[in-house]
Structure 1
């Protein structure tokens, strides 16, 4: 599905109130009338891995529903009219897990996901029935048979007033995070993103849910991933807490050689911020789900790369070995910077990936796509291993995914809080040609106690010349420290920039700021 439609539908599906009904079954997991289950089958994660490996040796089969003619009629408006019955939800008995609600198929979700419930080492499929849903009498979904499956699910808090985790579409999933507001998404896997050929979107074709007795905010999710290029077995240990945390174990079995494997991918939106004000055609001061990429390198260095809305699709790679963590973050939490009391960008979650098993050499890749509206997901980030991805060579990637308001492991360094750009030179004097000023504000670590002359910026450019640079505390703003430099740049080719602030003993006092600047660019008006 297109980014436009995915964002539209996720915005609706994860904000509307949809509660799954249940109907009679002897299966103890339900303990409420409503859902119908299939026969019990033995289940384990080891068995799922074996199934995924066997599936990789078989030809890929398209999982698209054969009822596409009817599903095409369930457009945005028709999808909104589908309501799960509110009688009961799976695991609404308070004995563990979280109340589960299931999503219907529609125009934009035509690949059914077979849903299962696991209990005591046995799994039963949750069988679709139309009477789970409240539908208008003339709704096209009434023309579907009783075995079409679901498109995904979501987990609710016990009251079922709000949900906190949802799996919907391909291998997409996302959480409302620590501040109870949906934003960026994660995916099980990305294949051949931003290459001169069609991207492949693996999907979760089957999902198993298992609750942990006595833990109402914890659910185990198992998933079988399938695509033309690869299969996989996933286990998500999901705990809500103050900010949802997911321990992810993924075992991948290539069907064919994969040119670009994107592990632990995140997808977000960045239109404009204080950095690129010329692109702000909307009345709101800033519009973005995330404002930067953060990386904790294997050597301990901390990087912060403000996001861009570039004039054309751009992919940047950050080489590393044994990375300690990385993610797309929303650092700006000030409502006044957004002025949007409808979608609350200041509450959008940050997502942080912490590798658990050893991730050897590879690179964090950041893909930025031009956009002229907030409806497009135009930011993608993932880890690309250097090891070749070939048939017969299984891969394992285990990681912890934090849906948080901040980095889970902040450094004792000054952290970038804002990046500004503007005309270089000194006010009141003739401005030099082709010169731009870059201003970076920091908070945290030792920078809040610095005085003028205590530190200086260290700046590197891929091309161009630094003509002026300085760093100082911001007068009247306790704890805020500012570094800036002027760069004289000829031509229109992009410029890669790197800066940190060092103290008198040459120690780095801030994280490393990275930026990609596009000189003399026009405002972005085209679509993504």
Structure 2
């Protein structure tokens, strides 16, 4: 279907003063949504489908064949193989010219796969790539690093300076929670504008399609200490959905300080350690867990200021993994542009046996999804952050620990240690004259009874809060909120923990 629509656009293209842009992709998406979904699968040669993960990684795009070689931004591609079975159409927008990239066998290095698997790029009739990546001299002038990757369904991920790939973003999530089988919309076509010399960013347009949705996306990507994407989308539904997840983020949490894993020499293994939400004048922090069974929760808000899956712990000693370097994984912060109206931030946490599986999803779900055929316009700024990540101006959670100390807990009792830091705590008088006025405020929300709570200055800086909580029903999750307060002044964000059932 999209090929027919694109052909019709090309036939009408040579008009005086016409320049390709977001509205052209949105027009394709609207026409696509008005027609029955036809799918866009292209059969993959069996030899490519039979590749293992490591074999598929042997297929490399030759850097000397990069598009715009020698410019500020260079473009390379991913080959189909293993689980990457879908083709995407990649178009270059250069001045007043729009052209689709073809398949160049000379651009691919197949490593040992020729004699081992009988693969030869000259003998493959591939219509195009599986995805692409944009390179830029992010960390220094001598080398163009990977800046951003678009590969698989509607997934993409990016890096800021000094970061390593971790969590991913998606364009759209459908029925991730509560709607039966999840639907994975995918980008079927891209248009990439050639940046002008000296440009501080690059623009990518994308056409999305799935059985119940079609849409147009625009990404203006600006690299830096924190790489920032200005995202614009126009979405059309073909049919109603149970859960419409906008600006979704996908990450991995295996274990950490609040959920140690016996036998692993690494204290923590995760791409993100918590969900942060800023809404209605309050900041919330939900520590992530690796539950035994799927665990879904949400935060209902009237006006969203932002949300993100964050990697707050940036110390190497927290992970002790000198290969994965989890301390360098980015946080991703979604900052709405305009008022998104009432809705909820949804968090889904799934069990994972190891760090190879993404098991965390966060997304925005509007209270009022669009009716089929109605356009939903959305804009937001997506920050890929490192040390200086989004957090409240008062105080924030530094770490959450669950477990006993010297005193054994009573049956059904859970114990927590939560450390806070931030300007509001650091501004307290150093002589301790105000310490007695600092108190923890605890709200048991579900299946929790507070036994004891107190707070004191942490000897290494900041403040520490200790909680003893009774869980009446160990077969049900427990939820509670806590923050530090002095008089009527909140000194920290709200730590809001959801503890899975035993």
Could you state the TM-score of these two structures normalised by the residue count of structure 2? 0.90
In the TM superposition, residue 460 of structure 1 has moved relative to its aligned partner by: 1.1
2:88 aligned to which of 97, 113, 120: 113
How many residues of Structure 1 are paired with residues of Structure 2 in the alignment?
473
Q: Is residue 379 of structure 2 the alignment partner of residue 402 of structure 1?
A: no
Please give the residue correspondences for 1:434-445 in structure 2 after superposition, counting only pairs within 5 Å: 434-445=412-423
| 8 A Cα contact 2:92 2:100, kept in partner | yes
2:150 aligned to which of 137, 156, 167: 167
The alignment partner of 2:322 has SS state of coil
Q: Is residue 175 of structure 2 the alignment partner of residue 192 of structure 1?
A: yes
Tell me: CA distance 1:70–1:40, structure 2 relative to 1, closer, same or farther (3 Å).
Answer: farther
The alignment partner of 1:246 has SS state of strand
In the TM superposition, residue 348 of structure 1 has moved relative to its aligned partner by: 0.3
The alignment partner of 1:224 has SS state of strand
In the TM superposition, residue 141 of structure 1 has moved relative to its aligned partner by: 5.2
Q: Which moved more, 1:332-341 or 1:75-84?
A: 75-84
Could you state the TM-score of these two structures normalised by the residue count of structure 1? 0.85
Q: Is residue 233 of structure 2 the alignment partner of residue 250 of structure 1?
A: yes
Q: State how far apart, in whole Å, the 2-side matches of 1:239 and 1:288 are.
A: 26
Q: Residue 426 of structure 2 aligns with which residue?
A: 448
The alignment partner of 1:194 has SS state of coil
In the TM superposition, residue 288 of structure 1 has moved relative to its aligned partner by: 0.4
| 8 A Cα contact 1:351 1:401, kept in partner | yes
Please give the residue correspondences for 1:224-373 in structure 2 after superposition, counting only pairs within 5 Å: 224-277=207-260, 279-297=261-279, 299-373=280-354
Q: Which moved more, 1:66-75 or 1:188-197?
A: 66-75
The alignment partner of 1:131 has SS state of helix
In the TM superposition, residue 209 of structure 1 has moved relative to its aligned partner by: 0.6
Q: State how far apart, in whole Å, the 1-side matches of 2:282 and 2:455 are.
A: 21
What are the ranges of 5 or more consecutive residues in structure 2 without an aligned counterpart? 1-9, 15-19
Q: Is residue 134 of structure 2 the alignment partner of residue 155 of structure 1?
A: yes
Tell me: CA distance 1:253–1:40, structure 2 relative to 1, closer, same or farther (3 Å).
Answer: closer
| 8 A Cα contact 2:276 2:309, kept in partner | yes
What's the CA shift string for 1:146-188, capped at 9, x where partnerless?
Answer: 4421111111124555211110111100012333200000011
| 8 A Cα contact 1:183 1:348, kept in partner | yes
Q: Residue 457 of structure 1 aligns with which residue?
A: 440
| 8 A Cα contact 1:67 1:144, kept in partner | no
Tell me: CA distance 1:330–1:228, structure 2 relative to 1, closer, same or farther (3 Å).
Answer: same
Q: Which moved more, 1:505-514 or 1:482-491?
A: 482-491
Tell me: CA distance 1:201–1:431, structure 2 relative to 1, closer, same or farther (3 Å).
Answer: closer
Q: State how far apart, in whole Å, the 1-side matches of 2:173 and 2:114 are.
A: 40
Q: State how far apart, in whole Å, the 2-side matches of 1:261 and 1:407 are.
A: 30
Aligned-residue Cα RMSD (Å) equals 2.1
What's the CA shift string for 1:223-252, capped at 9, x where partnerless?
Answer: 000100100000000010221100000000
| 8 A Cα contact 1:258 1:389, kept in partner | no
| 8 A Cα contact 1:354 1:399, kept in partner | yes
What are the ranges of 5 or more consecutive residues in structure 1 without an aligned counterpart? 1-37, 522-528
Tell me: CA distance 1:431–1:287, structure 2 relative to 1, closer, same or farther (3 Å).
Answer: closer
Tell me: CA distance 1:39–1:269, structure 2 relative to 1, closer, same or farther (3 Å).
Answer: same
Q: Residue 220 of structure 1 aligns with which residue?
A: 203
In the TM superposition, residue 407 of structure 1 has moved relative to its aligned partner by: 5.8
Q: Residue 412 of structure 1 aligns with which residue?
A: 393
| 8 A Cα contact 1:129 1:147, kept in partner | no
| 8 A Cα contact 2:65 2:107, kept in partner | no
Please give the residue correspondences for 1:453-492 in structure 2 after superposition, counting only pairs within 5 Å: 453-461=436-444, 462-475=446-459, 477=460, 479-492=461-474
Q: State how far apart, in whole Å, the 2-side matches of 1:422 and 1:75 are.
A: 41
